[in-house]
Amino acid sequence: MTEAALIEPFAVTMGDPCGIGPEIVARALTGPTPARCVVVGDVGVMRRAVAQIGASVPVARLETPGEVLDAPPDCLPVWEPPGLEPGLADLPMGRVSAAAGRAAVRCIEAAAALALQRRVGAIVTAPIHKQALAAAGSPFPGHTEMLQSLAAGPGGAQPDVRMMLANAELRVVLVTIHVALRRAIEMLSEPLILQTIRITHAALSRPGRPPPRIAVAGLNPHAGEGGLFGDEESRLIAPAIDAARREGIQASGPYAPDTVFMRARHTGAHPGEFDAVVAMTHDHGLIPVKYLGVEHGVNVTLGLPFVRTSPDHGTAFDIAGSGRADARSLAQAISVAHELAGAGTHDGAGAG
């Protein structure tokens, strides 16, 4: 590991113990990273992960997360949060387990508490399994909703958060996320869309730079084709864009969803026309990003009072325990977290 550029270490949660999370964490953290990282997880699970990748790195049990700054650079430092169940390393790989779901939740809760106390500079979360969360009794369908609840302020007020998936070529921010498609369409409103545009603008704005160019994708084919295929564009999306522009935000659209991502994609041969795309639903926005390669994608939660990133893939139960999992997306998530934490972009910020 390289010497940390920031004082606070980063917390990296182990993810679902039965998936590839521990394996990619072990692989990423036994190589160079831009910040000192402490694994929030089970020591036994992480020792199993080290063996799965064929490494001989010692796993160090820390009494406190801050001890990572004094730990030897050639070890994998692990802090076990209180409340983890015994026997997690004996759970079968690649299977849904309520115990694994409870362990994943406990690690996320502990990492979020460290971030809120400013004891870590950022959190990077390894993949969790939604069925395991449900089996564990968690009311949350994923990281984003759980972290939003954990970051609630006085009186229980939760921050307004959005999911952004990003890689070197494309950034996409979602208006709705983990709900049924029918429910997502029902949820759309002018205030919700406007709020997403505002969060995106705040996340990507940088002092001394031009304002971010935000493209807003339509919902219907051909962005409604003038009302022939639906009226959400004229009734909800266009008014939200107009309101954003009156606030000085450089937003435009609504654009046809089947072409706007090509226009926004940035490559050496084709500079993107936009800095980010706001998409109405989960699959509308994430299919284009993931098609470009999940090994390079990073999930950033915008709007939290701390930096949170994660790899752009799931638990991959089909290869869990084989030692073949690709850690590049997790390594990129750590690098993006370092960039964001160094830029002081929490309290609503994102990649840039």
pLDDT at residue 343, as a whole number: 52
Rounded to 5 degrees, what are φ and ψ at 78? Answer: -130, 130
Among the residue ranges 80-89, 145-154, 188-197, the one predicted with the least confidence is 145-154
pLDDT score of 6 more than 60: no
In percent, the amount of the chain with pLDDT more than 90 equals 74
Query: What mean pLDDT do residues 218-247 have?
Result: 92
Q: Over the Cα atoms of the chain, what is R_g? A: 20
Q: How far apart are CA 232 and CA 179, in angstroms?
A: 18
More reliable by pLDDT, 347 or 140:
140
Could you read off the pLDDT of 35-71 as tens digits, one per residue?
Answer: 899 999 999 999 999 999 999 999 999 999 999 988 8
**pTM score above 0.85:** no
Going along the chain from its start, the domains and CATH numbers come out as 1-159 (3.40.718.10)
At 350 the pLDDT is 37
The per-residue pLDDT for 347 is 41
State the average pLDDT over residues 20-42. Answer: 94
| Rounded distance between C-alpha atoms, residue 237 and residue 254, angstroms | 7
pLDDT in tens, 102-124: 999 999 999 999 999 999 999 99
Confidence of residue 1 (pLDDT cuts 50, 70, 90): very low
For residues 260 and 241, give the distance between their C-alpha atoms in angstroms, rounded to a whole number: 15
Q: 231 pLDDT exceeds 70?
A: yes
Mean pLDDT computed over 256-266: 94
**CA separation for the pair 173, 193 (Å, rounded):** 11
Mean pLDDT of the 276-300 span:
89
Of all residues in the chain, the percent with pLDDT exceeding 70 is 95
pLDDT at residue 288 is higher than 80: yes
The amino acid present at 220, given as its one-letter code, is N
In the sheet with 171-174, reading across from the earlier edge strand, the strands are 59-62, 76-79, 37-40, 10-13, 122-125, 308-311, 298-302, 162-166, 171-174, 276-279, 214-217, 251-255
Amino acid type, 19: G
Give pLDDT, residue 195. 96
pLDDT at 270: 87
Q: Whose structure tokens read 């590839």?
A: 20
